[in-house]
Structure 1
Amino acid sequence: MYDSKPWQALYPKEIPVTLEYTSEPVQQYLVNSAQQYPEKVAIHFMGKEITYKKLYEEVMNFAGYLQGTLSISKGDRVAIMLPNTPQAVISYFAILMAGGIVVQTNPLYTERELEYQMKDSGAKAIITLDILYPRVSKVMPQTDLQHIIVTAIKNYLPFPKNLIYPYIQKKQYGIVVNVQHKGSTHLLSEIIKMKPQKLKIYDFNPAEDVALLQYTGGTTGFPKGVMLTHKNLIANTKMCQAWLYKCKPGEESVLGVIPFFHVYGMTTVLILSVMQANKMILLPKFDVETTLKTIQKQRPTLFPGAPTIYIGILNYPDLKKYDLSSIHSCISGSAALPIEVQEQFEAVSGGKLVEGYGLTEASPVTHANFLWDVPRIKGSIGVPWPDTEVKIVSMETGEPVPVKEIGEFAIKGPQIMKGYWNRPEDTKEVLQDGWLYTGDLGYMDEQGYFYVVDRKKDMIIAGGYNIYPREIEEVLYEHPDVLEAVAAGIPDPYRGETVKAYIVLKEGSSVTEEEMNHFSRKYLAAYKVPRIYEFRKELPKTAIGKILRRMLIEEDKQKIEEEENQKHA
Structure 2
Amino acid sequence: MSAYDDKPWLDRYAAGQPAEIAVEHDNAVDMFAAAVARDPDSDIIRYFDGRITLRELDELSDAFAAGLADAGFAAGDRLAIYAQNVPQFVIAQLGTWKAGGIAVSVNPMNRERELELILRDSGASVLVCLEDLYRDVARNVVANTDVRTVITTSELEYQTRNDERLFARVTRDPDFEGNRVDMSELIDRHRGSAPPEVSLGPDDVAFLTYTSGTTGPPKGAMTTHRNVVFNAQTYRDWIGIGPDDVILGVAPLFHITGLIGHAALSLLVGAPLVLMYRLDPAVTLETARAEQATFTVGSITVFIALMNAPGAQKDDLASLTKVYSGGAPIPPSTVRAFQETFGHYIHNIYGLTETTSPSHGVPLGADAPVDPASGALSVGVPVYNTVVRIVGEDGADLPPGEIGELVTSGPQVVPGYWNKPEETEKAMGGGRFRTGDVGYMDSDGWFYLVDRKKDQINAGGYKIWPREVEDVLYEHEAVREAAVVGVPDPYRGETVKAFVSLRPGTSAEPEELIAFCKRRMAAYKYPRQVDVLDELPKTVTGKLLRRELRERE
Give the match's secondary structure for 2:258.
Answer: helix
- Residue 105 of structure 2 aligns with an amino acid whose one-letter code is Q
Match of 1:132 in 2: 133
Q: For each residue in 1:412-456, what CA deviation from the matched residue of structure 2 results, as whole angstroms up to 9, or x when unmatched?
A: 000001101111000111112110011111001111000001124
Distance verdict in 2 for CA 1:150–1:456, change over 3 Å: farther
Displacement of 1:349:
3.3
> Is the contact between residue 473 and residue 513 of structure 2 (CA under 8 Å) also seen in structure 1?
no
Match of 2:402 in 1: 405
- Residue 256 of structure 1 aligns with an amino acid whose one-letter code is G
Q: For each residue in 1:267-307, what CA deviation from the matched residue of structure 2 results, as whole angstroms up to 9, or x when unmatched?
A: 01100011000011111111111011111211100021110
Match of 1:88 in 2: 89
Please give the alpha-carbon distance, in whole angstroms, between the structure 2 residues aligned to 1:369 and 1:308.
19
Match of 1:551 in 2: 494
Say if 2:381 is the partner of 1:383.
yes
Distance verdict in 2 for CA 1:541–1:78, change over 3 Å: farther
Give the match's secondary structure for 1:73.
Answer: coil
Farther off after superposition, 102-111 or 339-348: 339-348
> Is the contact between residue 491 and residue 497 of structure 1 (CA under 8 Å) also seen in structure 2?
no
Displacement of 1:566:
4.2
Say if 2:320 is the partner of 1:319.
no
Distance verdict in 2 for CA 1:172–1:186, change over 3 Å: same
> Is the contact between residue 352 and residue 371 of structure 1 (CA under 8 Å) also seen in structure 2?
no
> Is the contact between residue 112 and residue 140 of structure 2 (CA under 8 Å) also seen in structure 1?
yes
Please give the alpha-carbon distance, in whole angstroms, between the structure 1 residues aligned to 2:60 and 2:386.
36
Please give the alpha-carbon distance, in whole angstroms, between the structure 2 residues aligned to 1:400 and 1:295.
44
> Is the contact between residue 232 and residue 415 of structure 1 (CA under 8 Å) also seen in structure 2?
yes
Displacement of 1:87:
0.7
Match of 2:357 in 1: 364
Please give the alpha-carbon distance, in whole angstroms, between the structure 2 residues aligned to 1:274 and 1:220.
32
Give the match's secondary structure for 1:267.
Answer: helix
Displacement of 1:242:
1.3
- Superposition CA RMSD, Å: 2.9
Match of 2:79 in 1: 78
> Is the contact between residue 491 and residue 498 of structure 1 (CA under 8 Å) also seen in structure 2?
no
Please give the alpha-carbon distance, in whole angstroms, between the structure 2 residues aligned to 1:114 and 1:497.
27
Please give the alpha-carbon distance, in whole angstroms, between the structure 2 residues aligned to 1:556 and 1:422.
38
Give the match's secondary structure for 1:289.
Answer: helix
Alignment of 1:178-197 (within 5 A): 178-179=174-175, 184-196=179-191, 197=193
Question: Percent of aligned positions with the same letter in both sequences?
Answer: 33
- Residue 434 of structure 2 aligns with an amino acid whose one-letter code is Y
Gaps of 5+ in 2: 371-376, 458-471, 501-507, 520-553
Q: For each residue in 1:230-282, what CA deviation from the matched residue of structure 2 results, as whole angstroms up to 9, or x when unmatched?
A: 0011111111111013x3x3211000021111101110110001100001111
Please give the alpha-carbon distance, in whole angstroms, between the structure 2 residues aligned to 1:560 and 1:406.
34
- Provide TM-score, normalisation by structure 1: 0.79
Match of 1:329 in 2: 322
Alignment coverage as a number of residue pairs: 483
Displacement of 1:498:
8.1
> Is the contact between residue 227 and residue 419 of structure 1 (CA under 8 Å) also seen in structure 2?
yes
Please give the alpha-carbon distance, in whole angstroms, between the structure 1 residues aligned to 2:451 and 2:189.
53
* Correspondence for 2:265 among 272, 279, 287: 272
Q: For each residue in 1:324-383, what CA deviation from the matched residue of structure 2 results, as whole angstroms up to 9, or x when unmatched?
A: 1101101100101121222232344333421111110000210111212x4531311110
> Is the contact between residue 130 and residue 150 of structure 1 (CA under 8 Å) also seen in structure 2?
yes
Please give the alpha-carbon distance, in whole angstroms, between the structure 1 residues aligned to 2:456 and 2:290.
38
Match of 1:98 in 2: 99
Please give the alpha-carbon distance, in whole angstroms, between the structure 1 residues aligned to 2:246 and 2:45.
9
Alignment of 1:502-521 (within 5 A): none
Give the match's secondary structure for 1:400.
Answer: coil
Distance verdict in 2 for CA 1:406–1:560, change over 3 Å: farther
Displacement of 1:385:
0.2
Match of 1:564 in 2: 513
Say if 2:346 is the partner of 1:345.
no
Distance verdict in 2 for CA 1:219–1:39, change over 3 Å: closer
> Is the contact between residue 293 and residue 322 of structure 1 (CA under 8 Å) also seen in structure 2?
no
Displacement of 1:172:
2.2
Give the match's secondary structure for 1:439.
Answer: strand
Distance verdict in 2 for CA 1:290–1:219, change over 3 Å: closer
Match of 1:517 in 2: none
> Is the contact between residue 356 and residue 382 of structure 1 (CA under 8 Å) also seen in structure 2?
yes
Please give the alpha-carbon distance, in whole angstroms, between the structure 2 residues aligned to 1:381 and 1:58.
39
Q: For each residue in 1:115-146, what CA deviation from the matched residue of structure 2 results, as whole angstroms up to 9, or x when unmatched?
A: 11100110001111111112111111111110
* Correspondence for 2:426 among 425, 429, 447: 429
Match of 1:310 in 2: 303
Match of 2:40 in 1: 38
Match of 1:201 in 2: 197
* Correspondence for 1:394 among 381, 392, 395: 392
Please give the alpha-carbon distance, in whole angstroms, between the structure 2 residues aligned to 1:267 and 1:307.
18
Q: For each residue in 1:18-45, what CA deviation from the matched residue of structure 2 results, as whole angstroms up to 9, or x when unmatched?
A: 0011341112222121221111011110
- Deviating beyond 6 angstroms after TM superposition, the runs of 4 or more aligned structure 1 residues are 557-561
Match of 1:520 in 2: none
Please give the alpha-carbon distance, in whole angstroms, between the structure 1 residues aligned to 2:514 and 2:498.
14
Displacement of 1:11:
3.0
Please give the alpha-carbon distance, in whole angstroms, between the structure 1 residues aligned to 2:511 and 2:38.
60
> Is the contact between residue 4 and residue 388 of structure 2 (CA under 8 Å) also seen in structure 1?
yes
Please give the alpha-carbon distance, in whole angstroms, between the structure 1 residues aligned to 2:341 and 2:214.
40
Match of 1:483 in 2: none
Displacement of 1:496:
4.6
Q: For each residue in 1:430-483, what CA deviation from the matched residue of structure 2 results, as whole angstroms up to 9, or x when unmatched?
A: 1121100111110011110000011241499xxxxxxxxxxxxxxxxxxxxxxx
Alignment of 1:521-532 (within 5 A): none
> Is the contact between residue 327 and residue 350 of structure 1 (CA under 8 Å) also seen in structure 2?
no
Please give the alpha-carbon distance, in whole angstroms, between the structure 2 residues aligned to 1:385 and 1:215.
23
Please give the alpha-carbon distance, in whole angstroms, between the structure 1 residues aligned to 2:158 and 2:384.
38
Match of 2:238 in 1: 243
Gaps of 5+ in 1: 461-489, 503-538, 543-547
Give the match's secondary structure for 1:303.
Answer: strand
* Correspondence for 2:53 among 35, 39, 51: 51
Distance verdict in 2 for CA 1:496–1:261, change over 3 Å: farther
* Correspondence for 2:218 among 218, 223, 235: 223
- Residue 236 of structure 1 aligns with an amino acid whose one-letter code is N
> Is the contact between residue 243 and residue 269 of structure 2 (CA under 8 Å) also seen in structure 1?
yes
> Is the contact between residue 237 and residue 268 of structure 1 (CA under 8 Å) also seen in structure 2?
yes
Farther off after superposition, 374-383 or 264-273: 374-383
Distance verdict in 2 for CA 1:39–1:99, change over 3 Å: same
Displacement of 1:495:
4.5
- Residue 115 of structure 1 aligns with an amino acid whose one-letter code is E
Displacement of 1:389:
0.5
Say if 2:483 is the partner of 1:497.
yes
- Residue 393 of structure 1 aligns with an amino acid whose one-letter code is V
Distance verdict in 2 for CA 1:345–1:103, change over 3 Å: same
- Residue 243 of structure 2 aligns with an amino acid whose one-letter code is G
> Is the contact between residue 391 and residue 400 of structure 1 (CA under 8 Å) also seen in structure 2?
yes
> Is the contact between residue 313 and residue 342 of structure 2 (CA under 8 Å) also seen in structure 1?
no
Please give the alpha-carbon distance, in whole angstroms, between the structure 2 residues aligned to 1:495 and 1:221.
24
